[in-house]
């Protein structure tokens, strides 16, 4: 019942004809008014809601957040959510599966945040307005609840997909509580999260602005250096710890300033968070390195391998295998001379099967893969069981703490033993003293890299070093590594060789 008409009489009687006409006319007018009101409500619903997800849309979000501009800083916060794998789902399974993923994500966000506080603000973007509970505001708690809810597999059409999302959040500051500033800060946090913590949550702090400014400046400087051909390849040798012969080298990116100073990659690494800049840097390095290797081979140097660092942006940019193959085929350099160095965070921090498949494809073409900075990521030992790699590079932090009988020595010795049984080669990074080199060799580590042997040098200096100290490749082998019992047989059969040569036969995978 929406309403009634009532006539009250002083005497006992029914309505007159005039009164019935009045009622009929008023009912008709009220019906028109109610129908118009329903049409306006439906029009407003369509204008402020998203047809696919059922959540309020961007216009609804703008309307809702505008009401919070002057509320206390501790009473509300904002989360911005970006689906990480929507494009992959659309490209792989079709837009029907992508639409299904959006619906499932929207439902799960709404179940955590309540539908009236959750919004679909764009194609793969959502927003959540978080209100304080019992006087406490916990946007981080809400963000992690959402991430937990999204991790469960979802049926999207005929496919089962695990949604992935990245979240940035912000709360009003003590001096500026406007909704516009909060939204801008949440955008900063989301951008930073996608670059540094994809699949996780980052809350805005003022230092993020400094970080972003520094990153934009790095992108600008590197872009200018690329345009002016001021990106150069420097090289650091990897040597046998017993003979100090060079068995491989690592290519390191350097930028020459407009005044001629050489700038190390550590000073502009933030530029590589930009996919386009990272891709251009890698392409330039591939071109430079391939040309240098061709020159060394033409000089008759017994060159073995060069390592090039690859970022996650290179994998996500696509066509990495094709780009590498073209750069080396252009100067007729076999891919067997190339080692891709990938950090644990790039390889597995994202839990991205795209990267694993790409690396498997690259290895099938003849190049090798090294897991760089090993031991600094999480669950490192499990990586050795699940990732296709040829060797590991023990991080400098272990070498720095190397003391006879200490914990670091025990860890390194254990890693060397595990790697040998798995047929994986080992290189120790960051060796700076003779004592470190001696201890590492005593622990069974055959190869090392660090300032003790040489800093990164320009190509012409590396040419001189290779002419003096390059170790000749051993004969090609049909298997990637020897099993422990095979190693024992090699030791026995080569007992008459010099100790250095007998050891060298075991230093997989830095062999031809």
Q: Where are the domains of the chain?
A: 1-48, 58-203, 215-504
Give every CB contact of residue 174 below 8 A, 6+ residues apart in sequence: 73
- The answer to whether the beta carbons of residues 200 and 168 sit under 8 Å apart is no
Distances in Å between the alpha carbon of 254 and those of 130, 446, 457?
45, 28, 10
What per-residue confidence (pLDDT) applies to 377?
Answer: 60
| 280 vs 382, higher pLDDT | 280
What per-residue confidence (pLDDT) applies to 383?
Answer: 67
What per-residue confidence (pLDDT) applies to 217?
Answer: 86
Assign a CATH topology to domain 215-504.
Answer: TIM Barrel (3.20.20)
Return the axis-axis angle of helices 95-113 and 139-150, rounded to nearest 10°: 140
- The answer to whether the beta carbons of residues 471 and 245 sit under 8 Å apart is yes
pLDDT digits (tens, 9 = 90+) for 147-178: 999 988 888 878 888 888 999 999 988 777 68
| 91 vs 225, higher pLDDT | 225
pLDDT digits (tens, 9 = 90+) for 51-90: 888 888 998 898 888 877 666 556 889 999 999 888 888 8
Buried/exposed code over 154-175 (b: 16+ C-beta within 10 A; e: otherwise) = bebbeeebebbbbbbbbbbeee
CATH, domain range 58-203: 3.30.70.270
- Cα 189–chain centre separation: 16
Closest CA to 354 of 135, 39, 177, 89: 89
What per-residue confidence (pLDDT) applies to 210?
Answer: 80
pTM: 0.64
| 476 vs 103, higher pLDDT | 103
Is the link from the previous residue into 509 a cis peptide, with omega within 30 of 0?
Answer: yes
Pair of tokens at residue 487: 């190693």
């Amino acid at each position: 019942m929406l309403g009634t008409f009532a006539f009250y009489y002083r005497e006992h009687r029914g309505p007159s004809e005039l009164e019935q006409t009045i009622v009929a006319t008023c009912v008709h007018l009220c019906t028109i008014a109610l129908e118009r009101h329903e049409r306006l409500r439906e029009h407003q619903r369509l204008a402020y809601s998203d047809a696919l997800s059922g959540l309020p849309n961007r216009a609804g979000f703008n309307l809702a957040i505008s009401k919070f501009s002057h509320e206390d800083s501790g009473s509300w916060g904002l989360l911005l959510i970006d689906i990480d794998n929507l494009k992959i789902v659309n490209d792989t399974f079709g837009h029907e599966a992508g639409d299904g993923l959006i619906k499932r994500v929207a439902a799960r966000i709404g179940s955590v945040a309540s539908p009236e506080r959750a919004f679909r603000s764009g194609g793969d973007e959502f927003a959540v307005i978080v209100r304080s509970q019992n006087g406490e505001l916990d946007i981080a708690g809400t963000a992690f609840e959402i991430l937990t809810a999204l991790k469960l597999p979802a049926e999207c059409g005929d496919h089962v997909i695990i949604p992935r999302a990245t979240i940035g959040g912000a709360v009003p500051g003590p001096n500026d509580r406007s909704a516009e500033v909060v939204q801008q800060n949440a955008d900063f946090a989301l951008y930073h999260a996608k670059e540094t913590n994809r699949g996780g949550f980052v809350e805005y702090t003022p230092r993020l602005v400094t970080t972003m400014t520094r990153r934009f400046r790095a992108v600008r400087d590197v872009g200018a250096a690329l345009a002016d051909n001021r990106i150069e390849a420097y090289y650091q040798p990897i040597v046998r710890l017993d003979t100090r012969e060079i068995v491989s080298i690592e290519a390191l990116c350097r930028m020459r300033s407009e005044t001629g100073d050489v700038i190390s990659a550590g000073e502009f690494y933030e530029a590589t968070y930009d996919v386009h800049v990272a891709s251009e840097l890698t392409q330039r390095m591939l071109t430079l390195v391939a040309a240098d290797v061709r020159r060394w081979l033409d000089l008759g140097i017994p060159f073995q391998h060069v390592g090039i660092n690859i970022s996650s942006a290179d994998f996500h940019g696509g066509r990495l295998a094709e780009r590498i193959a073209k750069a080396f085929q252009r100067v007729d350099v076999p891919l067997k001379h190339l080692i891709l160095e990938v950090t644990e965070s790039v390889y597995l921090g994202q839990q991205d099967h795209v990267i694993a498949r790409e690396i498997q494809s690259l290895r099938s073409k003849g190049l090798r893969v090294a897991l760089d900075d090993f031991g600094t990521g999480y669950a490192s030992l499990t990586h050795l069981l699940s990732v296709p790699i040829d060797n590991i590079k023990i991080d400098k932090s272990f070498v720095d703490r190397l003391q006879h009988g200490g914990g670091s020595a025990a860890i390194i010795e254990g890693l060397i033993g595990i790697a040998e049984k798995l047929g994986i080669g080992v290189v120790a990074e960051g060796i700076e003293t003779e004592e470190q080199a001696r201890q590492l060799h005593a622990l069974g580590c055959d190869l090392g890299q660090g300032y003790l042997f040489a800093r990164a040098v320009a190509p012409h200096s590396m040419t001189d070093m290779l002419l003096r100290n390059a170790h000749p490749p051993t004969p090609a082998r049909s298997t990637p590594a020897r099993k422990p019992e095979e190693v024992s047989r090699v030791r026995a059969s080569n007992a008459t060789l010099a100790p250095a040569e007998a050891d060298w036969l075991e230093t997989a995978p830095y062999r031809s």
